[in-house]
Amino acid sequence: MKRALITGVTGQDGAYLAKFLMSKGYEVYGTYRRLSTPNFWRLNYLGIMRKVNLISMDLNDTTSIMESIEISQPDEIYHLAAQSFVGASFEQPIATGEVTGLATTRMLEAILKRDKDIKFYNASTSELYGNSSSGPLDEATPFKPQSPYATAKLYSYWMTRLYRDAYGLFAANGILFNHESPIRGLEFVTRKITNAIAKIKLGIEKKVILGNIESFRDWGYAPDYVEGMWKILQNETPEDFVLATGETHSVKEFLSLSCEIAGLAMDDVLEVSSSLKRPLEVHYLVGNPSKAEVELNWTHRMEFRDLVKEMTEEDIARWDSFINGKPVIWDAQHYDDNNNIIKTRYKMDA
């Protein structure tokens, strides 16, 4: 039986990947970090909480990284843990550099010391491209990061390549375009929208307050993308791959479709606030996944409309259950994005 270690198993991708690898017969180990309130809701939501072997690990703590590898003795490591939110990276550029950038080197060093045969997947991102070109963006397009997050990920990308080239590790980058789901973090614009639309639909909220609604993203479905991660590590040689749908939509289109699905008029619910606009913006992303399609036989399955539908309907169902006193496993009841969270850096261009 193959063994996999997933860093960041409590996150969106980690949870879906754990479930996927179990379906392939893997023994799955996943790292989590100690928080004042334990955060296992995604594992519970997917029904796999008791099936993942959980190891406490913090990316700032090299000893805990070493230990997670000692304990799990993995054939494959999927390094997904990171400070993953572009917005927060402007507010915490140094922590983002440590966790999203430098920690990848801690992982690679640990592999080098412990077992050079471990295959390593690194979670790279379409944010690397910034506004470098309007696309479609592929593995050969130059990078031009536009945030502390993307800059840290660029370092992480190159260190993964460096350990591959210099030390012969099977280390590969998946350059993944945005991928979403009903278990996406609430701060990301897609889930922020579907959670807000659900609350508005049920009379709990009146408005959804957004920043730049004119930016475009190539949005796919997270379960499709975790399969691609696995395929990247099953390839004969360690190589970097773009995973994307090849289609792009604006934030406004996402909102408009979510409103349509919920039976709401967009003009009645939308409020735009310049205080939510970022100091630097990535305006337009669309990927070219041809290499993954040809060499890995990977393709996205879920289309944009179905993605928005699934996310919107799931959030409406959750809030509906909640207000009717039925138990729900989810994250939104303790979070109010329209409330008084101060976005420090965002105000710079207000």
Count CB atoms within 10 A of the CB of residue 326: 10
Q: Which does 278 bind (CB under 5 to 8 A by kind): ligand GDP, ligand NDP, none?
A: ligand GDP
CA distance 30 to 6: 5
Query: What mask of x and - would describe binding to ligand GDP in positions 121 to 160, judged by CB under 6 A?
Result: ------x---------------------------------
Stretch that binds ligand GDP, among 47-55, 103-111, 209-217, 318-326 (CB under 6 A): 209-217
Name residues contacting ligand GDP, limited to 280-299 (CB under 6 A): 281
Known active-site residue 62: no
Read off the tokens for 283.
């305006």
Known active-site residue 125: yes
Known active-site residue 253: no
CA-closest candidate to residue 257, choices 206, 169, 190 = 190
The set of residues, in sequence order, having a beta carbon less than 8 Å from that of 166 and lying 6+ positions away, is: none
Q: Does 215 bind ligand NDP (CB under 6 A)?
A: no
For β-strands 179-180 and 27-32, DSSP reports them as unpaired
Q: Does 147 bind ligand NDP (CB under 6 A)?
A: no
CA distance 150 to 156: 10
Residue of 7, 10, 31, 127 marked active site:
127
Q: Does 195 bind ligand GDP (CB under 6 A)?
A: no
The set of residues, in sequence order, having a beta carbon less than 8 Å from that of 245 and lying 6+ positions away, is: 177, 218, 219, 220, 287, 289, 300, 303, 304
Q: Does 176 bind ligand NDP (CB under 6 A)?
A: yes
Closest approach of Cβ 263 to ligand NDP, in Å?
A: 28
Stretch that binds ligand NDP, among 128-136, 176-184, 190-198, 291-299 (CB under 6 A): 176-184
Q: Which does 33 bind (CB under 5 to 8 A by kind): ligand GDP, ligand NDP, none?
A: ligand NDP
Count CB atoms within 10 A of the CB of residue 214: 12
Give the one residue of 108, 189, 229, 242 binding ligand GDP; rule: CB under 6 A.
Answer: 189
End-to-end CA separation in angstroms for the chain: 55
CA distance 245 to 335: 31
Annotate 184-206 with DSSP letters as a single string.
S-TTSHHHHHHHHHHHHHTTS--
Q: Does 54 bind ligand NDP (CB under 6 A)?
A: no
Q: Does 212 bind ligand GDP (CB under 6 A)?
A: yes
Annotate 275-327 with DSSP letters as a single string.
GGS-SS---B--B--HHIIIII-----S-HHHHHHHHHHHHHHHHHHHHTT--
Give the one residue of 52, 55, 80, 196 binding ligand NDP; rule: CB under 6 A.
Answer: 80
The set of residues, in sequence order, having a beta carbon less than 8 Å from that of 62 and lying 6+ positions away, is: 106, 109, 110
Q: Which does 59 bind (CB under 5 to 8 A by kind): ligand NDP, ligand GDP, none?
A: ligand NDP
Active site residues: 125, 127, 149
Give me the residues that bind ligand GDP (CB under 6 A), please. 86-87, 127, 178, 187-190, 192, 210-213, 215, 217, 251, 276, 278, 281
Give me the residues that bind ligand NDP (CB under 6 A), please. 8, 10-14, 33, 35, 39, 57-60, 80-84, 99, 123, 125, 176, 178-179, 185
